[in-house]
Copies of this chain bind each other. A is one copy, B any other.
Amino acid sequence: MQTPSHIRVDHIAIVVKALDHAIPFYSQALGLQLERVEDLPAEGVKIAFLLAGDSGVELLEPTVPDTGVARFLGKRGEGLHHICMEVEDIQAVLDRLAAAGAELIGTPQQHPDGTLYAFIHPKSAHGVLLELYQKP
C-alpha cells in the first residue's frame, strides 16, 4: 500500500499561448532552470520543462486546434492546467481513488521512457485535473 512519504509533486503544468514569451518569464525573470523544450506533433503540443527544486514546471503550448489543451486555452485562457504527482504504485493509488468514488480518465498509459501515467477527472478531484506518474 502506498504510504504518504512516497508521493511527490513531479510537475505543475501551465497552458500558455506561446513558449517564446512564457519561457523567458519563467526562466530569466522568475529564475527557474530550463531543462528541455520538445515539439510533440502527435500530441499537438510543444512543451518546455523547467526545474523547481524537487519538482518542475511544464509549459504547454497547443500547436493544433483539436486537443484538450487547445480547448482549455480557447475557453479559459492561459493558466494552471494540471498537477502531476509521482507515486510508487500507480495501480494501488488508482484503486484507492476509484474506491473513494474518483473518476479515472481512461486507463494508465505508458510514455516511451517506461513511465506509467493516468489522469483523474477534475470533477472528482475538487476541480483539479490530477495526473499520476509511476516511473520505471
Q: Which residues on A are within 8 Å of B, measured CB to CB? A: 2-9, 12, 14-17, 21-22, 24-33, 51-55, 59, 76-80, 83, 85-87, 93, 96-97, 99-100, 102, 122, 125-128, 130
Contact = CB atoms under 8 A, between A and B. Distances in A.
6 contacts: A9-B54, A12-B83, A14-B126, A53-B54, A59-B126, A80-B128
A40 B120 CA distance: 30
Nearest to A29: B100
Q: Interface on chain A toward B: helix, strand, loop, or mixed SS?
A: mixed
Nearest to A82: B80
Going nearest first, the 5 A-B pairs with the smallest beta carbon separation are A8-B53, A79-B127, A78-B127, A54-B54, A4-B33
A85 B52 contact: yes
A59 B4 CA distance: 17
B33 A5 contact: yes
Given A14-B126, A59-B126, A78-B126, 12 more contacts: A2-B31, A4-B33, A4-B51, A8-B54, A9-B9, A16-B127, A30-B96, A31-B93, A52-B85, A77-B127, A79-B122, A80-B127
Nearest to A73: B127
A90 to B, nearest CB: 11
